[in-house]
Structure 1
Amino acid sequence: MSSIKGIPAMDVLPEYFPYRDDGCDVSPSCLRCTLPKCKFDDPGWLHRERRAQRDAAILRARQRESLTVEQLSRRFSISQRTVHRILQHAKNGHRKARLSSKSLVDPKACRRPGHSTMIPGGHP
């Protein structure tokens, strides 16, 4: 270890560094986070995951409740054009929408400030 004016330098080994575990808007602690991938490692991943969950919820609602495009649009707070796009992609197989109820992301914990994100399969 080197020293400056007789004061020992801080150990630079990572195991001795006092990391703060502040978490994020998804989890209060990084060490107890349930996400399979950190949102900071791939910032677009969390957005894609939320969108995939929303799309799957739209497809489930369409299948189970026979909702119209207008009803889906209102329930999920998206445009009718977006609903049409999601339905078309599912029909063409461009996007593999997961119809399972398992979710990697807790939608309640992922709400962006100032936005009323819809809970998949839920109401506003």
Structure 2
Amino acid sequence: MGEDAARKQIDELSENHDTTDDLLPEHIGYKDEGCDLANSCLKCPYEECIYEKPGGKRLWMKKERSAEMIRLYTEEGKEVKELAAMYGVSKRTVQRALKLARSAIDNNRSNEDDRSI
């Protein structure tokens, strides 16, 4: 390929290239609108964006719900049946959340026991 042909290809690439790829962030019109959980993406209190992974928001909501169920069960003495009615889920869903919490607590205890040996 001759020098003229190569130069022509470079010129064509430059013309077809999306110039916003090269711009610094301050030169791009970015509007930080946040999401349902935070008013601003740039000031978000969460480590990972809920929209990063498929189903991220749904999983985040389930984790929050489970954490609240566990708190109500352990701190306020709510029954499984009450929690199921409060959240509009089955008793089995509540039991699964509580089981996960118990297994996490057991794992933490066994890790602490291993460290004390």
Query: Counterparts of 2:71 and 2:30 in 1: how far apart (Å)?
Result: 42
Quote the residue 1:72 is aligned against: 83
Max Rg structure: 2
By percentage of residues, which structure has more helix? 2
TM-score by length of 2: 0.56
State how many pairs are aligned: 87
Indicate the SS of the match to 1:31: coil
Question: Where do 1:41-60 residues align within 5 Å?
Answer: 41-60=52-71
Structure 1: tracts of 5 or more residues without a match = 3-8, 98-124
Quote the residue 1:86 is aligned against: 97
Amino acid at match of 1:14: L
Quote the residue 2:37 is aligned against: 26
Query: Counterparts of 1:90 and 1:10 in 2: how far apart (Å)?
Result: 50
Cα offset, 1:82, TM superposition: 0.6
Query: Counterparts of 2:39 and 2:76 in 1: how far apart (Å)?
Result: 36
Query: Counterparts of 2:77 and 2:93 in 1: how far apart (Å)?
Result: 17
Query: Counterparts of 1:37 and 1:76 in 2: how far apart (Å)?
Result: 25
Quote the residue 1:63 is aligned against: 74
Cα offset, 1:62, TM superposition: 1.5
TM-score by length of 1: 0.54
> Closer, same or farther in 2 for the Cα pair 1:14/1:69, shift >3 Å?
same
Cα offset, 1:88, TM superposition: 2.8
The one-character-per-residue Cα deviations of 1:7-46 (angstroms, maximum 9, x if unpaired) are xx96632332222222222223222222222222234444
Amino acid at match of 1:35: Y
